[in-house]
Structure 1
């Protein structure tokens, strides 16, 4: 048995956005958010169910899973593999927009229901040493939760380092699955939760269609292309910075010698620059 990398966009949506396996998403949400008793989710409505992306000439835009529960609460679950610029602002905008879009102009504000964001991050994002952190709007002095309808949860995978034998809670088993499923060959024996077991079954690559596998591989190709573009941009920036620094040093040397009365032909030999270049530098300065 072999499992897919759940951090892949297609795999993520197939596991968590599958309408025929809603027990997976329900189990995950209850475990990560620590819902118990009356808070516990028993039913969900997936707002953007899993569909294969169109590959031809297209950018894969599978980003997240959105759902609501029977109490009207909305959940946004997103997998983010790269620490992109403006990530916090995008999360705030996306969450706020989901909150505001619940009602139309003229509707009563009391119809608005909580929106809870869960970001699964393959990088460290907060200073919190724990692998799960929760951000709410609270009074700085008293800790009072002044605004209760928005909440941001982050699962930082690099901070989770427990081995399979160390897993005790369902939360730990869920995070382990997301981070390590691709390296496993069997469903762990300590998995008794129906939702998590369903997730492992859905992540079994042997059950995927060829079309799904093609989409899965395509996402990795696009990610590699983006990394290559980023690396090239960094190299070009470094090269440009080095070139600018060298040029500045050359100009500094030429001007310094000139101020001390050194003839241009001697400056040319000392700086190892063509006399024409020396003259250009002096013309700019004078």
Structure 2
């Protein structure tokens, strides 16, 4: 069904806002500042912070510690009218280091706020918001979790200068499919559903999400503006080409990472198989050795019994030829036994 609000381009051409380039273009500029303010307030209402009235955009590139270091690029870094710093990171692919990565970026932003002649008292809160296109926490089914520093036993907050938010888009979409979300009453849900509506990885658009957001946008001016700006951004050839280049790079890196993981998995399976084969070979060798030892022991016992018979025959006066023929022993061995018995 064709959209009633978005009309200029096919829905399949809408940029996936979970690609960092698209996210920055929509939320990271002065023209759309009011959209960014509403979006951030929807997230921060969870922890009871005062509503943001205004923001200014800061440089989103953090200098390297050493000459050969890669620079740390922050997707979105803003300062609020209350002088709180907010860093928004959007991650399309799981790099398996998201928590430490977020803490690192938080630390860089907090440190860089400290200027000469400042006192520690003047350091302001830095809030880290992480929007993830993958599941991170197995411990919870909630798509939005927040974290602070608390005392271990009595659970009082140590400070408000450190705050982390993690938003897991996969869990959000699952909640939507299970009819657990109400974007009419939940401002955050409607904004996050907007981010989750286009699935670039699977080349899919959730038409049912778009239809409901369009209905809500008839009463939500900021959401309507965001949807329209999103479409304009997607329709701009230069911007779309840059987005496609970034999306291709991310997906290629993701495919390369997956390929590397599969190769490691295959290598581990081969190593496991080799170890199992080695274990099986060692077990067979051990069984063969045990059988040989048992056979040798049995042969020795048999020989001992035969020699006992030979000794009995010799002690009764049987001649060497008779004893050798009867027992099957070599004549030389019978002579040796007779000598050991000191018989005439």
What TM-score bracket applies, with the shorter chain setting the length? 0.7 to 0.9
Greater length-normalized contact order (CA 8 Å, ≥ 6 residues apart): 1
Q: 1:42 matched to which residue of 2?
A: 53
Superposed displacement of residue 202, structure 1: 1.9
Partner residue in 2 for 1:284: none
Aligned residue in 2 for 1:153: 165
CA distance 1:38–1:77, change in 2 (3 Å): closer
- Equivalenced residues, count: 255
Q: 1:17 to 1:6 in 2, by over 3 A?
A: same
Of the three residues 137, 141, 144, the one matched with 1:132 is 144
Does the CA-based 8 Å contact 2:182-2:189 persist in structure 1? no
**Which residues in structure 2 correspond to 1:1-286 (within 5 Å)?**
1=6, 2=11, 3-34=14-45, 39-48=50-59, 64-126=75-137, 127-160=139-172, 161-162=175-176, 166-167=182-183, 168-180=185-197, 182-184=205-207, 188-191=214-217, 192-204=219-231, 208-259=235-286, 260-261=288-289
In 1: Cα distance, 2:252 partner to 2:273 partner: 32
Question: Which is further off, 217-226 or 198-207?
Answer: 198-207
Structure-2-length-normalised TM-score: 0.66
Change (3 A) 1:93 1:170: same
Indicate if the aligned counterparts of 2:18 and 2:92 stay in contact, CA closer than 8 A: yes
Q: Which runs of 5+ in 2 are unaligned?
A: 1-5, 61-69, 199-204, 293-344
Structure 1 position 213, deviation (Å): 0.7
Structure 2: distance between partners of 1:38 and 1:78: 20
Q: Which has the larger radius of gyration?
A: 2
Q: Normalized against structure 1, the TM-score is what?
A: 0.78
Q: RMSD between aligned alpha carbons?
A: 3.1
Gaps of 5+ in 1: 50-58, 264-286
Partner of 2:64: none
Which segment is superposed worse, 159-168 or 104-113? Answer: 159-168
